[in-house]
């Protein structure tokens, strides 16, 4: 049933294509209704941000009245809080560096959220009545704050402002509100006397810099790198998966009011949440090669189109930081939807389970136990305890079926030429002994939502990132301990330690289950179970080898507990059957 759900649902690419086509049609319909644009400037109304690299960055541009009051010198201003250090520049009036203090790359360097650039990572773009295409990250603003740095303690709030003087009292003013205890930064963009120079009274505000990769396995991180927008209660994703299609480029253009847009890597994200009413959003993505190649570069941008209100002030909320639940929930309650805690058809269960059970457990007990490997072990024990009523019922049902094997064999011999009588007698035997033949399967199926949720969550959550346990240096990454002189398809050229232990535990668990199953040694079902007790663990070795070691640790402990539980139930069930006889 699970396989049917998975293979019959439309793929993410098909859904994205359908939405993209609908968005394009909406945009075409909207263009037909624009009546504020003069004929001579109607052609370039649709602005799409272009990808730029540091080598392609140009000198400040001349763009009519918007270049009249440019500063002559580029300056920098350092903002330091307990959580990050940001370098703001007057070239574009925004951050050109954003360094997180509490998070490091796999190589031990502090994480820099913004790719190499000397200008603001954020850009405001619009078309003017002078037929200029203005991008503010090419303009030199004037810094209004004195000095070159500020330091904010936890709970403190400061403002940082830049202005572009356009003459005759006209100006653009950027005011950043910075919080000492948050990754959030608020931005107000004031258009003083220049609103009428902006065609359509609307601007494009976006994050155009690339986010840097932080994990050792670039391929796994690349698979999680993408851009999002949230609107109308739905999360839209843009993901470039095929380099051959459109030269590795893809885009998503959506009209209407947007709650927020974002670009993210596996564990870190930047988000733009407009406070001012918006007209739409534009996402773009580009890769330079196949998505599963180490050398492929991944670049995503996210832009919102916001109306300039009558008071001339456009307001945004910005976030640059980790995909940690408490941090991004404070920014927006739906931001955590970007973390893949399960498959789409199961999120109705997985989201509340993760938010109200898994995350609170780790947040609470991490205040008493600092080692997250120990916390994973305790969590596996608690999950096993919670599922015990289901597993005990399943194991007892299988054990009871095993105890009935001699009587079932007698029925098969007695009615070997009459299948109908054989089936009737067997069902009577089940009824008399209060045994349900499918009682061992149904309780196990009911556990699947929890197991699938934890399988996805431990792979994608920042919760276990760079947490150590025994020989494991990072519970969010594989703990390779064996290097092979060759590469095995799907497995790779390295083998993880906890995955090996998990595989061994599965073999033992399968042997215990086989001993508890129906039929003797010559029974075809018993022969199949004997094959499966080796085939399934080896198959899962290939599946889990390149996943997070914390996930393997969880399943290792879960399997060990299952073995002891099943051995105990087998023993007590057998003793009860002997006493009854």
Q: Is the pLDDT of residue 400 over 70?
A: no
The burial of 112, by beta-carbon neighbours within 10 Å (0-12 exposed, 13-18 middle, 19 or more buried), is given as middle
Supply φ then ψ for residue 366, to 5 degrees.
Answer: -65, -15
Overall size of the chain counted in residues:
581
Model pTM?
0.77
What whole-number distance in Å separates Cα of residue 402 and Cα of residue 87?
70
Q: In 144-264, where does DSSP find H-type helix?
A: 218-224
- Asked which of 25-29, 172-176, 212-216, 385-389 is least confident by mean pLDDT, the reply is 25-29
Domains identified in the chain and CATH numbers: 15-339 (2.70.98.90), 361-580 (no CATH)
**Does residue 4 carry a pLDDT above 60?**
no
Give the list of residues 6+ apart from residue 295 with CB closer than 8 angstroms, or none: 289
Q: How far is CA 240 from CA 13, 42, 43, 226, 411, in A?
A: 9, 31, 28, 8, 61
pLDDT at 132: 83
Which is nearest to 271 in space by CA: 330, 351, 217? 330
438 band by pLDDT with thresholds 50, 70 and 90: low
Q: What is the pLDDT of residue 227?
A: 93
Angle ∠(96,227,182) on CA atoms, nearest 5: 50
**Would you tell me how many other CB atoms lie within 10 Å of the CB of residue 215?**
20
278-318: per-residue pLDDT in tens? 999 999 988 888 877 878 888 899 999 999 998 999 999 99
- pLDDT reported for residue 174: 95
- Which residues lie closer than 8 Å to 6 by C-beta, 6 or more apart? 343
Q: Which of 244, 304, 247 is nearest to 277 (CA)?
A: 304
Q: What is the pLDDT of residues 147-185, one digit of tens each?
A: 899 999 998 999 999 998 887 888 899 999 999 989 999
| Helices (H), ranges, 290-441 | 325-331, 347-353, 359-365, 372-403, 405-414, 419-432
Q: Each residue of 197-222: pLDDT tens digit? A: 888 888 999 998 888 888 888 888 88
**Confidence check: pLDDT of 7 > 70:** no
Contact yes or no for 552/544 (Cβ under 8 A): yes
Is 288:300 a contact under the CB 8 Å cutoff? no
CB 347 within 8 Å of CB 528: no
């Amino acid at each position: 049933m699970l396989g049917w759900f998975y293979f019959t649902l439309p793929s993410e690419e098909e859904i994205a294509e359908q939405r993209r086509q609908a968005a394009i049609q909406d945009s075409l319909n909207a263009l037909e209704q624009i009546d504020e644009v003069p004929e001579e400037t109607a052609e370039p109304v649709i602005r799409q941000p272009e990808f730029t690299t540091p080598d392609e960055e140009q000198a400040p541009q001349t763009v009519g009245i918007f270049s009249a009051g440019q500063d002559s010198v580029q300056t920098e201003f350092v903002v330091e809080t307990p959580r990050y250090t940001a370098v703001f520049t007057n070239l574009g009036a925004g951050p050109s560096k954003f360094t997180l203090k509490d998070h490091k790359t796999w190589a031990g360097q502090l994480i820099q959220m913004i790719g190499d650039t000397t200008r603001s990572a954020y850009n405001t773009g619009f078309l003017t009545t002078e037929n200029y295409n203005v991008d503010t990250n090419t303009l030199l603003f004037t810094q209004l704050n004195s000095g070159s740095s500020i330091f904010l303690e936890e709970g403190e709030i400061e403002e940082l402002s830049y202005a572009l003087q356009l003459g005759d009292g006209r100006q653009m003013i950027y005011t950043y509100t910075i919080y000492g205890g948050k990754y959030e930064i608020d931005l107000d963009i004031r258009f003083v006397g220049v609103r009428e120079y902006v065609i359509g009274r609307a601007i494009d505000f976006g994050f155009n810099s690339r986010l840097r990769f932080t994990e050792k396995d670039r391929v796994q991180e690349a698979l999680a790198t993408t851009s999002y927008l949230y609107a109308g209660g739905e999360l839209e994703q843009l993901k470039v998966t095929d380099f051959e299609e459109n030269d590795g480029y893809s885009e998503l253009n959506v009209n209407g009011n947007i709650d927020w847009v974002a670009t993210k890597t596996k564990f870190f994200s930047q988000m733009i949440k407009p406070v001012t009413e918006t007209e739409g959003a534009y996402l773009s993505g580009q890769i330079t090669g196949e998505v599963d190649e180490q050398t492929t570069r991944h670049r995503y941008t996210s832009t919102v189109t916001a109306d300039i209100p009558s008071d001339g002030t456009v307001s945004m909320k910005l976030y640059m930081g980790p995909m940690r639940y408490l941090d991004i929930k404070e920014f927006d309650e739906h931001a955590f939807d970007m973390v893949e805690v399960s498959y789409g058809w199961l999120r109705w269960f997985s989201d509340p389970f993760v938010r109200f059970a898994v995350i609170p457990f780790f947040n609470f007990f991490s205040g008493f136990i600092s080692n997250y490997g120990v916390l994973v072990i305790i969590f596996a024990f608690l999950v096993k305890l919670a599922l015990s009523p289901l597993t005990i019922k399943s194991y007892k049902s299988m054990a009871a079926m095993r105890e009935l094997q001699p009587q079932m064999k007698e029925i098969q011999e007695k009615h070997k030429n009459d299948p109908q009588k054989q089936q009737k007698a067997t069902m009577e035997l089940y009824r008399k002994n209060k045994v349900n033949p499918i009682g061992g399967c149904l309780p196990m199926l009911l556990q699947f939502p929890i197991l699938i949720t934890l399988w996805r969550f431990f792979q994608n959550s920042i919760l276990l990132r760079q947490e150590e346990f025994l020989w494991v240096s990072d519970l969010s990454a594989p703990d390779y301990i064996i290097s092979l002189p060759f590469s095995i398809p799907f497995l790779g050229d390295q083998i993880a330690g906890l995955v090996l232990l998990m595989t061994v535990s599965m073999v033992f668990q399968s042997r215990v289950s086989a001993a508890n199953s129906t039929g003797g040694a010559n029974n075809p079902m018993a022969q199949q179970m004997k094959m499966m007790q080796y085939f399934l663990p080896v198959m899962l070795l290939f599946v889990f080898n390149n996943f997070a070691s914390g996930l393997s640790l969880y399943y290792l402990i879960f399997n060990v507990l299952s073995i002891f539980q099943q051995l105990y139930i087998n023993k007590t069930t057998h003793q009860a059957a002997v006493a009854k006889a």
